[in-house]
Chain A
Amino acid sequence: MVSPVLLIAVPLGLAFAASLVGLASKRLTKFVPVVAMLFNLVVSVSLLPVAFRAPIIVRTAGWAPPFSIHLVAGPLGLLLSCLIAFIGLLVAVYGMGYIREGAQAKYHVLYILILVGATGMVLTGDIFNLFVFFEILCISSYALVAYRGDSAGAEAGIKYLLQGAIGSSLVLIGIGLVYGMFGTLSMADIAANVRSVSTFRLFVSLAFLITGFGVEAAVFPLNAWLPDAHSSAPSSISAILSGIAIKAGVYAIARMVYTIYGAQSTLPCVAVIGVATLLVGEMCAFNQSDIKRLLAYSSIGQMGLIVFGLGMASVIGVSAALFVIFSHALAKALLFLASGYMIYRSGSREISSLDGMGTRMPLTSLCFAIGAFSLIGLPPFVGFASKFMIVRAALATADPFFVVLLAIALVGTVIEGAYFLRIVQGLYFKPTPEEAPEEGTRKEAPLSALVPVGVLAALIVAVGIYPGLVGRALGPAANDLLDRDGYVERVMGD
């Protein structure tokens, strides 16, 4: 059995090597992310059955937990790392052809590192180590948002950086308080001792940690950076930011709330925040005329749905939230990747300029439509299965509070349906604008873009028809998050 630590060490080594390769031959660097993510995908998938039997506890430096950093490759961690590696692989293939300007070798190095950060976050079992990987993720995304060096990118990058830097400082204060209270940094060890400290002190430290990670997760009052950053970045990076980076923030919050603090009493509040995030995101998205900005706001809305699902604190609710994470990562990556070449083709990010794209780029448009339908939640796409699971979970709680929130959340979904259907209608049923360059000619995106987009679309349909493909794995993963005593026992007992 290979050690899960390789999921972090090998891509990291390849990232260091990539800049060395870049010195020798500029053309070779773009294959390095593909290799790294392929490796990660293979290793994660091969470890998955083992982790479902029992989480793999990896020691570093040879000391038993909690006395050094340990990785906990449980069902949830490995499932998310599979998702990261899979999306990362497809976007890396896309990036090979899409990135043609700027310092390309540096793009590919940063691209590997953003994924290393996300992988490290979901696998680590140590709270400060989580912070370090969080910083790796954040800092590489600041740089990548501004990668093109245009005015929008630089502005979005600096705004993202300022808010992110404050967020990380808050996280660090929270970690300081935690270390002061418990004298330990291992998540399992903190979870075992959490009852020995007064509630108020716990609340203050938890508030710092949640606020800090909430900036990256873009929950409602802290999401000012997201639309700018996601719309100004290159499309491949938008796909990673929307598909993976904000999910990593949510994962960190969920770990804090469920596994470490066991703070079930805060959860109705979390659910309300989730629904508020959803409504704000969908309403802002409705007013957009810029396609990438619309997609970015729609990501905020979907984050709200995920947070709502997590707020239900039942196994089925958390499973539903994980399913939404999965379906949204696929669909949003697909939409950003497809829109990348459509924007490139039409030369503008206005939604109206995409009219008639269905005849000019039929395959790309078809995939875009599949992604949009999945996000709305139409059957037989994966989005339907995930949203249905949320509905089932909310009804299963039999709590009027959650049912009312669910009703509000469904209003948000209707708004989402309205604007996505508008775009799809424009793609297929409106004539190409007069002034469009090379009007009417059929020219598809290059193969390096069509393959990832096609694979994503196929997967959306396949999982939509057989939700069991993913559904069976979700229960154990949700349990991994909710079962505090089991987590502590497995980590500390090793």
Chain B
Amino acid sequence: MRRLISLLLLLIVALGLALCLSGAPFGARGADEGAGLAPDKVNFGRRYNERGLEENGAANIVTSVVVNYRGFDTLGEVTVLFIAAVGLAAVLYTRTGKAASAGAEPSSLVLFTGCRFLFPLILLLGAYIFIHGHLTPGGGFQGGAVVASGFLLIYLGCPDRKLSKAAVGAVESLSGLAFVAVALVGLTVGGSFLLNFLPKGTVYGLLSAGIIPLIYVLIGFKVGSELGGIIDNLSGGSE
């Protein structure tokens, strides 16, 4: 019965979507066809593509959108991740906080050495990704995730090494505070939250695009430490 109702529900949803999209062929707003999904209206995407480079000086328009035009969303987004990290720790909180590493068996020498060798390289890669976020694909989120996967590797390869919870918490709080502070500087300098108040520099240069690389590096630190904290919380304290 429950299965039948579910399938019926799914069918209705699918039908509605199919009908809705039947007039909207994929990728129609191309150069070869005039009309499409969003004909001659104010279109965010087109404007950002046309003006983004001169307005923000970042070669990667997606970065420009993420950090500047829709930077407020991004602030909310790192907050969501922050909530997940804090909430996870609150949900999995146990009063005793028993040491989990007692039962962990040491990994083999090859794995241990390999991890120790790879870990700095992964961190380097992550840092490269978020520092070059305004020039190449990638940025704070991707770089942060790479950094977190480095922590994951350490957790798997060297179980006796633990992330310091205090250090992780300090990094995520400080980078979050710095994000808000940079945004507020924009408010005081130019009267607008998240204003790109620094000089734009030359396009394609590493030091270009004003506050965008600065904020993306902060996001990288924040995302890396939060995801690292999530991994640490979920993996530790097993029964």
A residues with CB within 8 A of B: 3, 5, 9, 12-13, 15-17, 19-20, 22-23, 58-63, 66-69, 102-103, 106-107, 109-110, 113, 116, 120, 126, 128-129, 132-133, 135-136, 139-140, 142-144, 146-147, 149, 154, 157, 173, 177, 179-185, 189, 193, 196, 198, 200-201, 204-205, 207
B42 within 8 A of A: yes
Give every chain B residue within 8 A of A15 (Cβ-Cβ).
79, 82
CB distance from A218 to the nearest CB of B (A): 19
CB distance from A68 to the nearest CB of B (A): 5
B184 within 8 A of A: yes
Q: Out of A106, A135, A193, which one reaches B80, CB within 8 Å?
A: A135
17 extra interchain contacts, Cβ-Cβ under 8 A, other than A13-B184, A113-B79, A183-B44? A9-B183, A15-B82, A20-B177, A61-B192, A61-B194, A61-B196, A66-B44, A69-B70, A103-B93, A106-B90, A110-B90, A139-B83, A139-B84, A184-B41, A193-B41, A201-B23, A204-B20
Interface residues of B in 87-105 (CB under 8 A from A): 87-91, 93-94
Whether B91 pairs with A157 at a CB distance below 8 angstroms is yes
- Give Cα distance in the complex from A68 to B91, angstroms: 36
Assuming the contacts A103-B89, A177-B20, asked whether A143 and B83 have C-beta atoms less than 8 A apart, the reply is yes
Assuming the contacts A9-B183, A106-B87, asked whether A16 and B173 have C-beta atoms less than 8 A apart, the reply is yes
B43 within 8 A of A: yes
Whether A132 pairs with B91 at a CB distance below 8 angstroms is no
CB distance from B172 to the nearest CB of A (A): 8
The proximity string for B residues 26-38 relative to A, scoring 1 for CB distances below 8 Å and 0 otherwise, is 0000000000011
B63 within 8 A of A: no
CB distance from A147 to the nearest CB of B (A): 6
Whether B71 pairs with A102 at a CB distance below 8 angstroms is no
The proximity string for B residues 169-190 relative to A, scoring 1 for CB distances below 8 Å and 0 otherwise, is 1101110110011011011001
- Give Cα distance in the complex from A183 to B77, angstroms: 22
B166 nearest CB neighbor, chain A only? A23
Whether A185 pairs with B44 at a CB distance below 8 angstroms is yes
The proximity string for B residues 113-126 relative to A, scoring 1 for CB distances below 8 Å and 0 otherwise, is 00000000000000
B68 nearest CB neighbor, chain A only? A61
Residue with the highest number of chain A CB atoms closer than 10 Å, among B83, B186, B187: B83
Whether B69 pairs with A68 at a CB distance below 8 angstroms is yes
Interface residues on B, range: 35 or more
Whether A149 pairs with B93 at a CB distance below 8 angstroms is yes
- Give me the 5 closest cross-chain CB pairs, A-B, nearest first: A143-B87, A183-B38, A16-B176, A183-B43, A132-B76
Give every chain A residue within 8 A of B186 (Cβ-Cβ).
61-62
B73 within 8 A of A: yes
Q: Out of B37, B73, B184, which one reaches A69, CB within 8 Å?
A: B73
B86 within 8 A of A: yes
Give every chain A residue within 8 A of B192 (Cβ-Cβ).
59-62
Interface residues of B in 190-235 (CB under 8 A from A): 190-196
Q: Out of A5, A113, A146, which one reaches B91, CB within 8 Å?
A: A146
Q: Out of B46, B87, B193, which one reaches A61, CB within 8 Å?
A: B193
Give every chain B residue within 8 A of A129 (Cβ-Cβ).
70, 72-73, 76
Assuming the contacts A61-B193, A67-B69, asked whether A106 and B93 have C-beta atoms less than 8 A apart, the reply is yes
CB distance from A449 to the nearest CB of B (A): 22
Whether B38 pairs with A19 at a CB distance below 8 angstroms is no
Q: Out of B20, B55, B93, B180, which one reaches A16, CB within 8 Å?
A: B180
Whether A13 pairs with B24 at a CB distance below 8 angstroms is no
A20 nearest CB neighbor, chain B only? B173
- Give Cα distance in the complex from A354 to B149, angstroms: 53
Whether A23 pairs with B41 at a CB distance below 8 angstroms is no
B3 within 8 A of A: no
Q: Out of A60, A173, A196, which one reaches B194, CB within 8 Å?
A: A60
- Give Cα distance in the complex from A196 to B40, angstroms: 11
- Give Cα distance in the complex from A9 to B188, angstroms: 13
Give every chain A residue within 8 A of B176 (Cβ-Cβ).
12-13, 16
Assuming the contacts A61-B68, A139-B84, A147-B91, asked whether A13 and B76 have C-beta atoms less than 8 A apart, the reply is no
